[in-house]
A and B are shown apart, each in its own frame.
Chain A
Amino acid sequence: MSHYREGAPITDTRAPDGPLETRWERRRFDARLVNPANRRKLKVIVVGTGLAGGSAAATLGELGYQVTSFCYQDSPRRAHSIAAQGGINAAKNYRGDGDSVHRLFHDTVKGGDFRSRESNVHRLAEVSTQIIDQCVAQGVPFAREYGGLLDTRSFGGAQVSRTFYARGQTGQQLLLGAYQALARQIHAGTVRSHPRTEMLDLIVDGGRARGVVVRDLVTGEISSHLADAVVLATGGYGNVFHLSTNAKGCNTTAIWRAHKRGAYLANPCFTQIHPTCIPVSGDHQSKLTLMSESLRNDGRVWVPQQAGDPRAPGDIPEDERDYYLERLYPGFGNLVPRDIASRAAKAVCDAGRGVGPGGLGVYLDFADAITRLGRAAVEAKYGNLFEMYQRITDEDPYAVPMRIYPAVHYTMGGLWVDYDLRSTIPGLFVIGEANFSDHGANRLGASALMQGLADGYFVLPAVIGDYLADGPFGEVSAESVDEAEDSVRAVVAALLAVDGDRTAESFHRELGKLMWDLCGMERGDEGLRTALARIPELRSEFWRRVKVTGSGDRLNQELEKAGRVADFLELAELMCVDALHRTESCGGHFRVESQTAEGDARRDDDAFSYVAAWEHTPAGPVLHREDLVFETVKPTVRSYR
């Protein structure tokens, strides 16, 4: 049985044709402008205050639009972008090491395993340099060298040093920059801020996105906000796996409900599993903590050769250890890209050679580095990470090797957008991790921050005027508003009415385990079909047995969680449909059926060089393909052997 139907392909992505290098410039020139007096009459809603939403709302406010901003946290400053550690890429070539816009473009297309659009990625690389200028002007305290100039480091397999950073808190510092710009606009009255407010539906009227239905998380009040355009910047949906490096509140609700209102969702199965996270310690684990990728520069990854070896790591002699990354990938060793390192860890653990509780972990050993560089040097480089590790695990990584295991980290999939960041619903724009992004099937380290800020500061503000030039779009019909509000009220009432015997958390945990096992690091036909059979059952069980205490008219965190889990239960099914239909392996999507003799991913460019954009219909998902054309970078096999 097929789980989906075919629809018409997508042919127009609104990207100008002609030379790649000048497409963005030409698009900006061609985009219609809105004069300042008219901007004041135009309303824009921005949902989300992360790097993408915060920077967009601030910039649109500066331009003079009437902006309304929402986030579910108690302050815009707490969006999950705050947690990004490593850094942000930009093609500044300050090192003179041969970096350029073209090289960043090239690396990103290749890193995405040839499943992203050349036009978008090139634009991203172009804009990257302006981001650094903007952030420095705002006072972002990037790391500097003794001469006072900006420092950079290399990251995620790139051969050049193009990653700008602020200790291990780059995301925090960039987000505070955007937040402060936003605060300035709130003070100036161009932006109205609504923290602790969750978007629960999109209002579509006359074929255009015209507003959102939100729930005030403190008073429980459900209300509508209307505008001439709606921007979603609500981040990723990695929490569909329950355990991930995402914040507890990260959700799919905003994009999923927009999807149900007609926005296509692209490549939902493309998820990134990060190889270096602290392993799960018990059943009550609530989230996973990332340990920066930079640790792999000096740590050596190994497991005992013998399955189930009960000895402490220090008692295992050198020749009974398997430094499997160094053995399998002698060229790159411990520095292979994320997807490869993650899968290799899974393979050794599946073979029973994993370490720590449940055998789900591998050692990341710094003994050699400490001998070679001295403890002080290791401490200077990684001190804060070691401390964080010790705090969580109560083990001293200077004395005992760290234990790490892969964890869900980022979702490349998201709402489909064209070159102008428009979704398939006119007037609905999607930016940041919430869109299906410029990262193809695998995101390179330090590129998500770049994309979020590129979208928010530079791309969206430059193209949104072309849409708004036709506005204001007049009154929104009362029926559309009522219908959306009623449907939100119905969902809230339904959740409260079940009064069953299981917590929302327990369903989330079960769904997460299912997705991790069957649609996680490796996906196979059989497993995906099992998942597709199980998810609807779980969903119906949810609606029969979930228990939400309290009422809807005040702060009710149980209700919030249940609503999010309900949406994850729907999204999960589409992810599995997407994963099942893409029978090739590419980037973060590894199909067991499509691998080389050595166990590497095998792409199938003839059959799958397209974006899978899914339409929601009552009769099930409909697939619209957008073919990818590679004129500048020719698809090659990614090999790290």
Chain B
Amino acid sequence: MNYTLRVWRQDGPAAEGRLVDYEVDGITPDMSFLEALDLLNERLVLDGEEPVAFDHDCREGICGMCGLMIDGVAHGPQRATTTCQLHMRSFDPAHPVVVEPWRAHPFPVVRDLVVDRSALDRIVEAGGYISAPTGSAPEAHAVPVPKPDADEAFESAACIGCGACVAACPNGSASLFTAAKVTHLGLLPQGQPERTSRARDMAQAQDDLGFGGCTQTGECTAVCPKGIPLETISRMNRDVLGGLLRSR
């Protein structure tokens, strides 16, 4: 089959970018979206052109490395699915497929479809952990964790850090990402001592890095490949406010 891929090309962070149309034939419905880009790239290389840069690694929906804005939807048309798990059968060859990078001020474009998401690491570094130095751990069964809490913590811990929530958010907010971590750790007994300071520090880092504030539009959850619920943000707000009401 023949598809038109309308792809954002940008040489570097400071360069001007533009959309370029590529006709790619020989695409089969079983091909993944990234394999279609692979195909395009092999042809570009043989033509002596530079291939389209895009991030990917595991190609099974877990590493969070891939992430493209496809026809204006982060990770494309299929819900709860990362870009690498999309298949060409989800696309209609009659229309060009528009492929753009994540756009947000804290995610500068590195090249073509590759952006710098290291701001998300900075948010975690600000407090997204339980301080448990190696060797200091008590016996694992010393503290039972109620199954519902463990399960809910897991749901939030499933975030893959892809940044789709930021890309989709009209405010450029990273609240869903941050809230997922705050919720994961805040639900576990081991996470209690640092619960409010963690939330506050992470929220602070998010502000300092230039992300926007949350207005509960719900765009983030709609594109989140792991279905992190909007309620996590409410829980984060509670913990952040708890932290802010107290002086350090």
Chain B residues contacting A281 (CB-CB under 8 Å) are 30
Q: Would A77 and B64 be within 8 Å (CB), given that A394-B87, A549-B51 are in contact? A: yes
Nearest CB to that of B89 among chain A residues? A394
Q: Of B35, B46, B128, B153, which contacts A141 at CB under 8 A? A: B153
Chain A residues contacting B141 (CB-CB under 8 Å) are 94, 149-150
Q: Is the CB of B118 within 8 A of A138?
A: no
Which residues in window 108-159 of B have CB below 8 A to A? 110-111, 114, 116-118, 120-121, 124-141, 143-147, 150-151, 153-154, 157-158
Tell me, yes or no, whether A173 is within 8 Å of chain B by CB. Answer: yes
Q: Is the CB of B60 within 8 A of A139?
A: no
Tell me, yes or no, whether A130 is within 8 Å of chain B by CB. Answer: yes
Q: Of B29, B132, B147, which contacts A138 at CB under 8 A? A: B132
Q: Of B35, B45, B184, which contacts A503 at CB under 8 A? A: B45
Main secondary structure of the interface of B (DSSP, over half): loop
Tell me, yes or no, whether B197 is within 8 Å of chain A by CB. Answer: no
Q: In the complex, what distance in Å separates the CA atom of A388 from the CA atom of B32? A: 13
Q: Is the CB of A92 within 8 A of B35?
A: no
Query: Nearest chain B CB to A324's CB is how many angstroms away?
Result: 27
Chain A residues contacting B81 (CB-CB under 8 Å) are 391
Q: Is the CB of A148 within 8 A of B63?
A: no
Q: Would A73 and B140 be within 8 Å (CB), given that A247-B58, A558-B51 are in contact? A: no
Tell me, yes or no, whether B217 is within 8 Å of chain A by CB. Answer: no
Q: Would A173 and B157 be within 8 Å (CB), given that A133-B139, A136-B140, A547-B45 are in contact? A: yes
Q: In the complex, what distance in Å separates the CA atom of A78 from the CA atom of B64? A: 7
Q: Would A183 and B150 be within 8 Å (CB), given that A62-B133, A173-B157, A555-B110 are in contact? A: no
Query: Nearest chain B CB to A450's CB is how many angstroms away?
Result: 14
Query: Nearest chain A CB to B107's CB is how many angstroms away?
Result: 11
Q: Is the CB of B125 within 8 A of A74?
A: no
Tell me, yes or no, whether B229 is within 8 Å of chain A by CB. Answer: no
Give the segment of B1-9, B91-99, B185-193 that binds chain A. Answer: B185-193
Which residues in window 50-77 of A have CB below 8 A to B? 55, 58-59, 62, 73-77
Q: Of A248, A282, A547, which contacts B57 at CB under 8 A? A: A248
Q: In the complex, what distance in Å separates the CA atom of A184 from the CA atom of B121? A: 11
Chain A residues contacting B207 (CB-CB under 8 Å) are none
A192-232: CB near B (< 8 Å → 1, else 0) gives 01010000000000000000000000100000000000000
Q: Is the CB of A142 within 8 A of B150?
A: yes
Nearest CB to that of A139 among chain B residues? B130
Tell me, yes or no, whether B42 is within 8 Å of chain A by CB. Answer: yes
Query: Nearest chain B CB to A52's CB is how many angstroms away?
Result: 13
Chain A's interface size range is 35 or more
Q: In the complex, what distance in Å separates the CA atom of A506 from the CA atom of B42? A: 9
Q: Would A186 and B58 be within 8 Å (CB), given that A142-B150, A549-B51 are in contact? A: no
Which residues in window 147-172 of A have CB below 8 A to B? 147-150, 166-167, 169, 172
Nearest CB to that of A284 among chain B residues? B35
Chain A residues contacting B42 (CB-CB under 8 Å) are 503, 505-506
Q: Of A75, A133, A138, A167, which contacts B161 at CB under 8 A? A: A75
Q: Would A184 and B129 be within 8 Å (CB), given that A73-B63, A133-B138, A148-B144 are in contact? A: yes
Q: In the complex, what distance in Å separates the CA atom of A32 from the CA atom of B244? A: 46
Query: Nearest chain B CB to A412's CB is how many angstroms away?
Result: 21
Would you mind naming 30 contact pairs between A and B with Cβ atoms under 8 Å apart? A59-B134, A74-B116, A75-B64, A77-B64, A77-B121, A78-B63, A80-B58, A82-B58, A137-B136, A138-B132, A139-B132, A141-B184, A144-B151, A148-B146, A148-B147, A169-B62, A184-B131, A195-B118, A195-B121, A218-B110, A248-B56, A249-B57, A284-B28, A285-B35, A286-B35, A290-B60, A393-B30, A461-B134, A547-B46, A557-B51
Q: A78-B65, A94-B141, A247-B59 are in contact. List 11 more A-B contacts (CB 8 A).
A: A77-B64, A148-B145, A173-B157, A180-B124, A195-B118, A248-B58, A388-B61, A547-B48, A549-B48, A554-B111, A557-B51
